[in-house]
Amino acid sequence: MLRKLGVGTLGAGVAGGTYVYFKAKKELGEDALSRQWQYNRVAFPVISEYKWTEAKCEILPKFLPSIFPPVTDEEERAMFEVLHRKHAKSMFDIFMKLGGFFYKNGQKVASNNGGVVPQYYIDMFQPFLNDIPARDPADVRAVMEAELGCKREQVFSSFDEKPIGCASIGQAHRATLKSTGERVVVKVQNPEAERTFKGDVYTLKWLVDAFAPQISPAFEEISLQFATEFDYQGECANAIEIRKNLAASPFKNLVRVPKMHEQLCTKKMMVMEEIYPSTPLHDALNDQAERMAKQQGITKDEFIKIETAKLEKLQLENAAGGKAVQGLSAETFDKYIKLQKAKRGVLGLWRKAFNYTIGLALPKALKYDLAADDVMIPLNTAKIVDDLLAIHGYECLINGCFNADPHPGNVLFLDGKLALIDYGQVKRLTDKERLMMSKTFVLLEAAMKVDPKTDPKVDPEVHQRAKASVAKSMYDMGLRTKDNKVDAHYEMATVYYGRMDLAWTYPRNLLQWTDHIQEVDPLKSLDHAKFFVMIINATMMLRGLGSMLMQDRNLATCWAPYARQNLKANGTLAEVEAEIKSWSKA
């Protein structure tokens, strides 16, 4: 039976591969076909081995236990860990070799987008955040001068050939404006990026359709949104709008968005103020890990491995009890930071006093190194996560204009403040969409409080009524599944717009949960709810960052205040609150 199944699967694979080959050749050309072949040659065997291992652990033991004995969760994790170590490097290499849209997806892996990427892949893919190969300086100059219509030196008095960052579409360089002497950053597009984009999307899309059909509609929308990044004039307009919105928001003293030099922005070149001095968040976190490892006398890799193991253990221990892993609060971090600063000050005074009194009579080797910085002042990671979620909640529900790509490389850390950059993937919501989203968040926040996962003693009838309200709200926003089951719509709401930590999805991790939802009630269409996708994409990045920092968050709790503000401004808050009260009526 298994042999026949294998032959049938192989035949279908050959037929499908042949179809894809000729279709790609006809629609996209030889170059796209070559890139597709290079990627599939590496990726198809890797994905197949992952899916086969998943089947051996979760599906086949149910039907053929004599051949495939059941495995424990620990044994399954060990089997997948072997695969991670076996395949992460080959996947990294092919992503880095092909570039283009693969760079963007590499960034998502490195950023732990969605909080589900194995740590081994996160570590392996870190270069996609800040170490993508730079292009030839002559090519950069050629693009700039074609866009400017003159020699580069006529506009910039200085231009640093070494880029400060390279990404999927372009790379950024420091420069100085000749007219004003202002420090700026110049973003220059890779002329090949747009040409290869369509073929890269096609390549990834058919693999998504084959191996993860539940995310196929979302992948299509993300790809369409990404395509807008090839127009830097559009990105310039996005940044101007969001800068203006945030300047009039409660976050005006908390966050900076670079000023754009609109007159110098073209389709393939963009000029903006340099946020200086600042550090990309992923660099600041990496530096902190380095220092913490040094204090313990181990390498950074060893430190990360130990901390990751601790986090996984905590997640599993807490999961059965329904509790998310919660690190220190922002307030506790602040207190600790103040103590560390005081300690650094006292220690510095003591060292100076010693060196200039007793130390005067001692050899240099016995004096204190006054330049030593061995008292670490940690980042307030709780506040960073809180602030990022709050800012994006305000952008979505109040402004209706938000950055859908807030990975750590697009977040700069500036003397306790945040600076947000890169507005190629900005999404706008209509007033109707903001109102529907706001209603869902208010209902969801209340519904999760009367969910048995939160309160085992809750009245089942109250839970059912709450669940039905949330499910209807999701349907009204445009969510369509095969059978439109209340349980499926409610569960999707709680994960995509609430909690996605292991304690909530237990006993499944998030990837297993998506498979579970696909089995229960497959997603049918997002045609009427495409705005779902980019909100989920952005918030999963932010919550994934929180998960890495032991700062899991319930998105519904974080965004409910802005949802209420929007509903109140439109005169519909009382109606939603009345619906919530009705759940408890006999």
**549 and 458 together in one domain:** yes
Using alpha carbons, select from 179, 136, 130 the residue that is nearest to residue 158: 179
Q: Which residue positions in the chain have pLDDT lower than 70?
A: 1-31, 112-116, 210-215, 320-321, 586
The pLDDT value recorded for residue 13 is 36
**210 and 81 together in one domain:** no
531 domain residue, yes or no? yes
Whole domain around residue 217: which residue ranges?
Answer: 137-280
Where a domain ends, among 224, 252, 280? Answer: 280
Read off the tokens for 532.
Answer: 């779902």
**Number of helices followed by number of strands (H, E) in the chain:** 23, 13
Cα–Cα distances in angstroms (integers) from residue 576 to residues 415, 473, 498, 569, in the given order:
41, 11, 18, 13
Angle, alpha carbons 486-544-96 (nearest 5°)? 120
pLDDT tens digits, 110-153: 876 655 678 888 889 988 877 788 899 999 999 999 999 999 99
What is the model's pTM?
Answer: 0.84
**33 and 157 together in one domain:** no
Using alpha carbons, select from 207, 189, 246 the residue that is nearest to residue 105: 207
Using alpha carbons, select from 513, 510, 463 the residue that is nearest to residue 488: 513
Cα–Cα distances in angstroms (integers) from residue 130 to residues 114, 280, 370, in the given order:
20, 9, 32
**164 and 88 together in one domain:** no
The pLDDT value recorded for residue 6 is 29
The pLDDT value recorded for residue 509 is 80
335 domain residue, yes or no? no
27 domain residue, yes or no? yes
**473 and 559 together in one domain:** yes
The pLDDT value recorded for residue 105 is 83
**90 and 152 together in one domain:** no
388 domain residue, yes or no? no
39 domain residue, yes or no? yes
**438 and 575 together in one domain:** yes
Tokens 């995509």 correspond to 496
Where a domain ends, among 98, 129, 145? Answer: 98
The pLDDT value recorded for residue 16 is 42
Total structural domains in the chain? 3
